[in-house]
Homo-oligomer: A and B are copies of this chain.
Amino acid sequence: MTKIAVIPGDGIGQEVIAEAQKVLALALPGYEATEYDLGARRYNRNGEILPDSVLSELDEHDAILLGAIGDPTVPPGVLERGLLLKLRFELDQYVNLRPSRLYPGAATPLADVKPGDIDFVVVREGTEGLYTGAGGNLHVNSAAEVATEESLNTRYGTERVIRDAFERARRRRGHLTLVHKTNVLIHAGGLWKRTFDDVAAEYPDVTTEYQHVDAAAMFLVNRPHTFDVIVTDNLFGDILTDIAAAVTGGIGLAATGSINPDHQHPSTFEPVHGSAPDIAGQGIADPVAAISSTALLLDHLGRADAAAAVNAAVERELGSREAGASIRTSEVGDRVAADVAGQLS
């Protein structure tokens, strides 16, 4: 029995997760869902963000499905660090995976691209770099204030994520791009580049390339079709994946996984979009990103066929839409679920 922890979260999170679960019920029949009330509502109610006991319970599951976290009533950073990043660090989710595809009908700001032209994944490191919180402030609020922010990187941490990226490249078109800033960040960049070159020797079937982060950011805009798999550090990955979302038509359609590839802890799957309080409760949020995140979840749990069925159904749903037409959240879920049911029956 596959055990999934479901964190609907805030705003439209609840609505889109309901549709994702409709689809998951068909793609992963009989899975056991346990709902966890985490996010802005709980924080505003009793100040709790991610109690240790809840973290332990989550850790007992096969995967976590998350809707969206956040609300304007909560100070910025509190839930991001206390919940989202804490899950990544505590559950050792060292692969932050962001597939980027240009879907039919997606509102890309780019000229001269068509569905299929853009199809790459970013493998972002999830447990190191500038995300550890290391650093400090001295003489706060005085003219003498100094603030430091420290990027911590280990051979252990870089090697495992780079290896994962090579494995994914091997299963795709066989091309891997390392992105860093080795000409300026010589300490961390040196470690990343040497580790990359070492691991590359084990994957002679994968072609490799190195790009500085500034160049990569530009190439994602003016030649995104040249990428297959990108591997990069935590902060560069944060930025590059949002550019990727932009060129493929916005974060509204993107899904992501915070993955522990070794299955020692559950991985988290979620839509990239936020809780969108402005449209919450109206039944008009697009659930395709949440549904796509179930495909990543299925793939991670070894159900490649079911994952492919969900992806195909999402692609058909998007391809069938009239440009600019409004959608109803539950109708989208019903259509995609019916399509998946048809494929898997």
Contacts and interface: CB of A to CB of B under 8 A. Distances in A.
Contacts of A245: 218
Contacts of A153: 146-149
A139 B155 CA distance: 10
Interface stretch (A55-63, A73-81, A278-286): A73-81
22 contacts: A76-B182, A77-B184, A81-B183, A108-B111, A109-B222, A135-B150, A135-B185, A135-B187, A137-B190, A145-B155, A146-B155, A148-B153, A149-B187, A149-B189, A150-B151, A213-B238, A213-B239, A215-B242, A217-B243, A218-B251, A221-B246, A222-B246
Interface of A: 76-77, 80-81, 85, 108-112, 130-131, 133, 135-137, 139, 141-156, 181-191, 194, 213-215, 217-219, 221-222, 235, 238-243, 245-247, 250-251
A141 to B, nearest CB: 7
B182 A77 contact: yes
A95 B153 CA distance: 30
A184 B85 contact: yes
Contacts of A112: 109, 111
A10 to B, nearest CB: 16
A253 B155 CA distance: 40
A11 to B, nearest CB: 17
A185 B222 contact: no
A147 B145 CA distance: 26
Contact of A147 (B108, B144, B190, B235): B190
B147 A149 contact: no
A148 B139 CA distance: 24
Given A142-B155, A190-B137, A217-B217, A81 B242 contact: no
Nearest to A185: B149
Nearest to A183: B77
A144 B158 CA distance: 11
B242 A214 contact: yes
A301 to B, nearest CB: 28
A147 B188 contact: yes
Given A146-B153, A149-B189, 7 more contacts: A108-B111, A109-B110, A130-B151, A143-B155, A149-B150, A184-B235, A217-B246
A185 B151 CA distance: 10
A150 B147 contact: no
